[in-house]
Structure 1
C-alpha cells in the first residue's frame, strides 16, 4: 500500500496566494490587464458579503485570460512558475517534500487553485500527483467555466479518492501525512494519521509547524 504525503499549495508551500500572483504577473507582462482589477475587487467584495460563492468568484475573476489559446496559456503558466512561483516557495515545505519522498512516500499536491497552472509544480521533481480546480477549454480556447466543483474541503477528498481509484492505488492513510494552512482542509487532515497545520495563528489540537 502507498503512503501519501499530501500538501495544500497556497500559504502551505507558497508564501502568497497564487491566483492573485498570476493576475499580477500578467499585468507585469501587459499593463493593459490592469483594466481587470475592478472586476477582481468586485468579485472579492461579492464573496465577502456572501453573494458569490467561490466558484462564481473564480469564474468572474478569470476574465483576464478569457479566450486565450490553450498553447499560449501553457507557455504563460510555465514562465509564471519559473519567474514568480519558484521564488515564493517555503524552503521548509520543499525540504519536507524531498524528505518524505526519500522515505518512500507518494507526494500529492492538492489545491483549490486552477489546475491549468498548479500543474507547473511538477517542476519539483519529487511531486508525483497534482490535483486542482479544473476549468473548461472549448475549441482550444480557455472559457471561464469551472469543470466540476471548486476543489476545496470535502471536494478535495472526493477528487483524491477518484484519482486513486482510477490509478488503482491502495493507500495506507493511517501512516500518511497532510499539510495545510487552513481548517478548510479538515476533511483531508482528518483522513490521515499525521496531520499538520502550517503557520496557523491560533492554538489547535492539530500540531502546528512554522515554515519559512
Structure 2
C-alpha cells in the first residue's frame, strides 16, 4: 500500500482553521458567554507562548487551543452541533487550497491511498471525506456518542501523528509513500515517507527542507 498523507491546516487549507471556527461560532450566535471565556484563555496562553513563559511554546499552545474547543461543542445539543459542523464544512470551502485539491485527485488516480491527517477534531474533518480522501484521521473528541471534556482530549500532533500512521498502516511501504505539510511540527510525518513535499512551509521547515532536498510544492527551489 502506498499512502499520500495530507496535512490540514496551512496545507489542504490555506488558513489555520481554528480561528475561523471560532469566528464562525460567533457568527452563528452560539453560546457567546463561553466563547468569550474561551477566547480570553486562548489569548492569555498565546501571550505565554509568544514570550516563552511558563513552558508554553507553539506546540503546546496549538494543542491546548484546539482542545478548549471541545467545551464549546459540549455546550450545545447534538442536533445543533451537527448542523454547525455541516455548515462549517460549507463555509470552509473557500479556504481550500485549489492546487492541493487537484493534487488529491491526481494522487487518487495514481493509486495512492489518500489520508487527511490533522490535530483538528475528527468531527470537523469527517465531512472532508467528500473531497475525495479515502480516510480522515483527527483527534478523537467523541466517546459514547458524546463530546468529551477539553481536559480529556488528546490532540494528534508532532510525533503522535507519525506513530498513528505507523500503527494503522503496518503494511505500508513508506519509501513509496508521500506526505504534504507546511509546518516544522509536521516533520515526523515528512521524515516517515520517501517523498516529502512542503507546502507554503514556515521558516523553520523551509530551512530544513532546503538542507534535506525536500520538494517544494508548486515552487522552484
1:77 corresponds to 2:79: no
The 10-residue stretch of structure 1 (200-209 or 135-144) with the greater mean CA deviation from structure 2? 135-144
In 1, Cα distance between equivalents of 2:116 and 2:19: 19
Secondary structure of 2:85's counterpart equals helix
In 1, Cα distance between equivalents of 2:147 and 2:193: 38
- 1:96/1:146 CA distance change after superposition, 3 Å: farther
- 1:140/1:154 CA distance change after superposition, 3 Å: closer
Secondary structure of 2:10's counterpart equals coil
In 2, Cα distance between equivalents of 1:71 and 1:164: 34
Q: Give how far 1:137 is off.
A: 4.4
What is the total number of aligned residue pairs between the two structures?
203
Secondary structure of 2:27's counterpart equals helix
Secondary structure of 1:108's counterpart equals strand
TM-score (norm 2): 0.81
In 2, Cα distance between equivalents of 1:39 and 1:194: 39
1:207 corresponds to 2:215: yes
Asked whether the 8 Å contact 1:68–1:141 carries over to 2, the reply is no
Q: Give how far 1:86 is off.
A: 1.0
Structure 1: where are the runs of 5+ without partners?
none
TM-score (norm 1): 0.84
Asked whether the 8 Å contact 2:141–2:147 carries over to 1, the reply is no
TM alignment of 1:48-67, pairs within 5 A: 48=50, 49-51=52-54, 52=56, 53-54=60-61, 55-67=63-75
Cα RMSD (Å): 2.3
- Counterpart in 2 of 1:162? 167
Secondary structure of 1:86's counterpart equals helix
